[in-house]
């Protein structure tokens, strides 16, 4: 029990003293999360809307594939991205291995099925009379799309938060594709794993507390937006 208390004391010292190594991992994580979430939302929300709103041939097999991708292990995604980005891979010439964009690609692949599946579910549960009402009021296609998305905005926000949680807490992709390089590609989660294995519980606890604070800040912001 004593080492846990000591770890928390060290954690607060690292956070309040502005430890460069600790804040480097935080900075890398924030940048990666912004990159991967922006890409997954820009691609995933329209795809989820199409999948949930329209009926077309092959919709059921496609939905099954998306739902299956929800359970993809992060280490498998990391392995495949590593294979494509390595020197022997088809995309090796791009030099993205052991870089933040390379990790962001893997994290986008991780988050995309979550955004697509949950957005499609939200659209499918939308009131079917909404479309008829909007058309009767003279809405064009653009207004129909915007109004439908606005109707399910809270569900899409929940989908984004779910994807955010998965992205921020993953380890496999960051470790395999990023290489856990200090000052460069080391994220909060990979730093926690490394420092804990070294017996340095202080930094691990400090970074864990940062993850909790980020999660709390995001959820608080969403709650405020929904209330307004």
- Indicate whether 116 pLDDT > 90: yes
Domain count, the chain: 1
Range of the domain at 19: 2-227
**What's the predicted TM-score (pTM) here?**
0.87
Give DSSP secondary structure letters for 29-96.
Answer: HHHHHHHHHHHHHHHHHHHHHHHHH---TTHHHHHHHHHHHTT--HHHHHHHHHHHHSTTSTTGGG--
CATH of the domain at 131: 1.10.3720.10
Sorting pLDDT into bands at 50, 70 and 90, what band is 5? confident
Sorting pLDDT into bands at 50, 70 and 90, what band is 106? very high
Residue 29 backbone dihedrals phi, psi, to 5 degrees? -65, -45
């Amino acid at each position: 029990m004593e080492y846990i208390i000591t770890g928390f004391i060290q954690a607060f010292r690292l956070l309040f003293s502005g430890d460069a190594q600790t804040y480097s991992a935080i900075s890398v994580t924030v940048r990666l999360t912004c990159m991967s979430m922006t890409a997954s939302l820009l691609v995933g929300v329209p795809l989820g809307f199409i999948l949930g709103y329209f009926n077309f041939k092959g919709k059921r097999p496609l939905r099954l594939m998306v739902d299956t991708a929800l359970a993809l292990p992060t280490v498998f995604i990391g392995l495949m991205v590593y294979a494509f980005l390595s020197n022997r891979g088809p995309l090796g010439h791009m030099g993205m291995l052991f870089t933040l964009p390379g990790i962001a690609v893997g994290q986008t692949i991780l988050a995309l099925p979550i955004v697509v599946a949950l957005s499609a579910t939200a659209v499918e549960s939308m009131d079917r009379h909404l479309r008829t009402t909007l058309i009767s009021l003279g809405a064009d296609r653009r207004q129909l799309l915007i109004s439908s998305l606005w109707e399910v905005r809270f569900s899409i926000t929940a989908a984004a938060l779910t994807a955010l949680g998965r992205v921020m807490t993953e380890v496999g992709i960051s470790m395999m594709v990023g290489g856990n390089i200090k000052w460069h590609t080391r994220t909060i989660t990979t730093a926690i794993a490394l420092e804990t294995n070294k017996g340095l519980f202080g930094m691990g606890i400090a970074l864990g507390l940062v993850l909790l604070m980020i999660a709390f800040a995001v959820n608080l912001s969403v709650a405020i937006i929904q209330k307004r």
